[in-house]
Amino acid sequence: MPYIGRPIDAGDFKIITLTEAFDGSRTDFTMSESVGTPYQLMISLSGVIQHWDSYTVSTTTLSFSSAPASGETIKILKLGSVLSANVPSTNTVGISHLSTAGIAAKFVYKVNDAGNAWELGLLEGSDITTEGSFFSNWNTVTANLTSTLTTTKNRMLVGPITVNNTYIWDITGSGELTII
């Protein structure tokens, strides 16, 4: 009966051969095919399937932990290809796909100031764009603070701002900050 269903997307089964013969002392052998992980292989030495911890692979090199005896036979079956993790296409992940696990309150994923990447940061008043929305800001600087302003966003604070003791509030950048 023929196979009914979706075809294999990647990889296949291949017989791999070795360039060198077993001589009882050699442990490293050159394979006819590149391999990414020992879990891709099923190796039979003289009819005995070998466990993954009895050999390692590095591209086309197969290394046994102990040398196979002279005259032993080997059969190697490559079981498919190593695949990369799936990466979603550009602009296909939305809010419903993101998890909030492990994110502290008041932190959000937002577009950075350059507009070219996501970052995890505090929600700022200037990030609110919905008409009629309310926000609050701090009114006392209790530690040294640097605020970098950019020309891509307007910044605004409302109410009196007190800088305690000998703390310094350094405002840098080329953007605008309005305190009302």
Asked whether residue 178 carries a pLDDT value surpassing 90, the answer given is no
Domain boundaries, the chain: 13-79, 99-179
The residue whose two tokens read 């490559």 is 78
Lowest mean pLDDT segment, chosen from 74-78, 119-123, 133-137: 133-137
Q: What is the mean pLDDT of the chain?
A: 79
How far is the first Cα of the chain from the last one, in angstroms, to the nearest whole number?
79
Lowest mean pLDDT segment, chosen from 77-81, 90-94, 134-138, 165-169: 134-138
Higher-scoring residue by pLDDT: 119, 109: 119
What percent of the chain clears pLDDT 90, i.e. is strictly above it?
29
pTM: 0.44
Q: For residues 119 and 107, what is the distance between their CA atoms, to the nearest angstrom?
A: 10
Residue 1 tokens read as 């009966």
